[in-house]
Structure 1
């Protein structure tokens, strides 16, 4: 598989980055609502963790569709940057968070030399993104000030959210998109076409 980027791949990655920046910003509002609901119970910080996998999903989708080094990292960085530009309350530090998240996902694909995009690797990428981002937020967002039990529950919840939303939902959304035929010029689209041809022959 050639590692050189094609223009259409760069365009798709940029479109995904911008589209998910809007979704990420909407999710921020949802997260704030959950924090508000849980604060009276003393577990407000847990609110965002239930849906944290949303903020990692573009890296998995871009990597799964394009299948080239840098797709996960760059798409997440684009999404984070655009989210800041369109007015995220998190401010410019969000770009650094996006870079850390993209690095987490990219590391999982790097372990397979960008050759394996099966479900287990997509889930692993989600989990690694959760761990990388949590380590970053432990210091940047002051998680160290929380009770140990709350920090532990936050980490576990973020990992579960990443498995379900980032890995599994990200794969499902990409596969549904591939079935429409709009991705036929990309690695995932070609894989779907080959599977369809094989199924038809057999």
Structure 2
């Protein structure tokens, strides 16, 4: 009896996992096509009931968070091969930007939702925790990549470098370079690397000046 119950639970878990993945894959496809679907619209596109979709994703924030996690998952597993910070940043952007640009629509959806929630919080002075989109993956990645700088400058200055690089390592740069300057993907990547080099160089100059 216990064996049958265990097998049944495993089958149910597999079914749930497949259903959840179907919803995520459908949402990614819609986002990458330029849509900004609700949970209901994703359910319809996946040919599932609205109730089923909401069991997995009770809010649009939960759906977008899952989509971003899925699209950025390979990047989160990345580890640098270089030991010098500038080379590590270049290595990271070479790996991450093509993957991020492949799912640009999904990342733009996260930005759109974040801006919408900001406007709502300004109007309502609050937004439910379950509905709030929390974004912070880039912090841990940049802390890891810039770790060698701790031997070159105070932590306060390293933190400033991380904050500056967070303006480059993220989808926000896509909006500026593509929407305003109409750059191609490779140009966006090249500009990101150029800015990152300037940030590292300036930090080192500041550290040398402070030490002299």
Per the TM superposition, whether the score is higher than 0.5 is no
Structure with the greater alpha carbon radius of gyration: 2
Structure 2-normalised TM-score? 0.39
Larger RCO, structure (CA 8 Å, separation 6 or more): 1
Structure 1-normalised TM-score? 0.40
